[in-house]
Structure 1
Amino acid sequence: MADTLLFHVSDIHFGLENNEALDWFAAEVDRLRPNAVAITGDLTMRARHHEFRAAEEWIGTLQAPATLDVGNHDMPYFNLIERFVTPYKRFGRLTDIVEREIDLPGIALVPLKTAVRAQPRFNWSKGWVTGRALEDCLARIDALPAGTRALVTVHHPLREVGTQGTAMTRGGSNALAELAQRNVLGVLSGHVHDAFEIMEDTPHGPVRMIGAGTLSQRLRSTPPSFNELRWDGETLQVHIRNLENIEDEAMKIDDVPEDAHPPREEGEPVAPVGAVPRTDPPVS
């Protein structure tokens, strides 16, 4: 079986996007032609109409099928009626790829919704895996052909990952425990703006968690990046693709440790398992 190539990108934040990083990513899609692109939420900055139009135009240029998770920034901020009644209305034609399952030979991208319209805590930006969302995701996984591995796509990491850009996802630990009982290869997420990869233990075994950085100007401790994933039918390799020489110091969010990786626990290797950072030259 030929290798399956996947690109994982997150937190593009149209409205405060980094155009050099977007051009670089699109050029890599055109050059390498991945089998699919997973965009794990926060496509826009404030869910404004013009931000969605710009996002739609850019995604339309990508030479690969895409799936899009909804992030906390992608639901109306200033129109609560619209947020509660028609929260996805502004996605327009992008609705066709929202929470879209992509089935490939031996592997599938399966969405799990973590962004909700409202929740019983002050900070609505945090994640929540509702019972209904988890049931829908598990049903999709259970319906896959025998032997097919699932990569679950979410916006919020399902548990805290050691960065100060927090997730605090309600229901995340339960979701991980349920996923561990199925043929899940890993969970792809965004939200914290820095790439990471860890193995999370659950009562039913470990689950691999893979986070993508950002292609926006809202940098934390690392430059714009995306994840390049290669699946050969047995092993999933993850390469963190960094764009160097980005002069966005004024936009950096200084709430993440410099190394951007989770703190090392006893017995855990110093580097994230399987993650191979790779820095690419700036786009000319």
Structure 2
Amino acid sequence: MLHISDPHFGTERPLVVKALERLAHAHKPDLLILSGDITQRARAIEFEAARAFVERLAIPSRVVIAGNHDIPLFDVATRIFVPYSRYCRAFGPELEPVYDTPELLVIGVRTTRRYRHIEGEVSNAQIARVAQRLKQAGENQLRIVVTHQPVHVTHAVDQEHLLRGHQHAIGLWAEAGVDLILGGHIHRPFTSALHERLVDLPRRVWAVQAGTAVSSRIRHDSNNSINLIRYGFENAPLYCAVERWDYNNDADDFVLFNSVDIQRSILA
């Protein structure tokens, strides 16, 4: 599967857009996960460009959630009364999509709020609903939850951007069997073993963050960045690897930066 985040259409880099399309065509992922901030200012023309880009990727299935930039900021009436109307016209009415196959369960969570400009939150009801869905997963499914704001950060400067309610969410979702929690928002790519930092977790859980896929709004020490997540069964328990691919300006292409093998907990 291909995990991208924060393309911020309206600020996209055309060469990077083309390079990401080439990567998708070369690797042929079965699923696209887009974890929010699709646009820069939630304008209709930006959503149209983003939808056309997603179509050009030619990936059979997709899970797309909105980020805080996908709610109009300056159009106050739209923000108050129909904040997701432009998002829904481009990507459909489901704000918390679910993708379910024999080997994969992906649950999207709406963490944006019309009354929050940047920060995100997840309610107790959402946490419980996601946990219940995770508990219904098959033994052979890789279990993924997708949020926009991160549930974990690796630098103090990003602490203010942590998803509100993340501690409760991680605990309940871990008990319910989650393997990976995907996010974006901070434009800092990493894969981190939450079970090595939170001693009370009952199983192995990984936070997987994507950088900004194609935007000029590059931050920190990384260029445009995406994740390829490989998974499946081959006469053995589920394997999973998260590959980080960064855009290389000189090569005008995405190149493999690193790969992290995910050691999944065996469910009782």
TM-score, normalised to structure 1, is 0.79
SS in 2 for 1:127: coil
SS in 2 for 1:60: helix
Q: What is the count of residue pairs matched by the alignment?
A: 243
- The equivalent residue for 1:184 is 178
Q: Measure how far apart 1:132 and its partner are.
A: 2.7
Native 8 Å contact 2:242 2:260 kept in 1:
no
Q: Measure how far apart 1:7 and its partner are.
A: 0.6
- The equivalent residue for 1:82 is 78
1:98-157 C-alpha deviation (Å, 9 max, x unpaired): 4321123321111122211115xxxx3012111232233223323333442311111111
- The equivalent residue for 1:194 is 188
SS in 2 for 1:103: strand
> Does residue 210 of structure 1 match 2:208?
yes
Q: Measure how far apart 1:39 and its partner are.
A: 0.4
SS in 2 for 1:184: coil
Native 8 Å contact 2:95 2:110 kept in 1:
no
**Which of 50, 56, 60 is the matching residue for 2:51?**
56
Instruction: Could you tell me which runs of 5 or more consecutive residues in structure 2 were left unpaired when the two chains were aligned.
Output: 252-257, 263-268
Which residues of 2 match residues 239-250 of structure 1 at below 5 A?
239-245=243-249
Which residues of 2 match residues 163-182 of structure 1 at below 5 A?
164-166=157-159, 167-182=161-176
SS in 2 for 1:198: strand
1:68-126 C-alpha deviation (Å, 9 max, x unpaired): 1111111010123322321110121312564321123321111122211115xxxx301
SS in 2 for 1:191: coil
Native 8 Å contact 1:87 1:117 kept in 2:
yes
**Which of 134, 141, 163 is the matching residue for 1:148?**
141
Aligned Cα root-mean-square deviation (Å): 2.2
SS in 2 for 1:137: helix
Q: Measure how far apart 1:26 and its partner are.
A: 1.4
Q: Greater helix percent: which structure?
A: 2
Partner amino acid, structure 2, of 1:90: R
Instruction: Could you tell me which runs of 5 or more consecutive residues in structure 1 were left unpaired when the two chains were aligned.
Output: 1-5, 248-270, 276-284
1:170-224 C-alpha deviation (Å, 9 max, x unpaired): 1001100011102211111111112111112252334210100112100012111
Partner amino acid, structure 2, of 1:223: N
> Does residue 72 of structure 1 match 2:68?
yes
Which residues of 2 match residues 220-259 of structure 1 at below 5 A?
220=219, 221-233=221-233, 234-245=238-249
| Distance (whole Å) between structure 2 residues aligned to residue 43 and residue 27 of structure 1 | 19
- The equivalent residue for 2:254 is none
Percent identity of equivalent pairs: 26
> Does residue 35 of structure 1 match 2:48?
no
> Does residue 22 of structure 1 match 2:26?
no
| Distance (whole Å) between structure 2 residues aligned to residue 140 and residue 113 of structure 1 | 15
- The equivalent residue for 1:138 is 131
SS in 2 for 1:61: helix
TM-score, normalised to structure 2, is 0.83
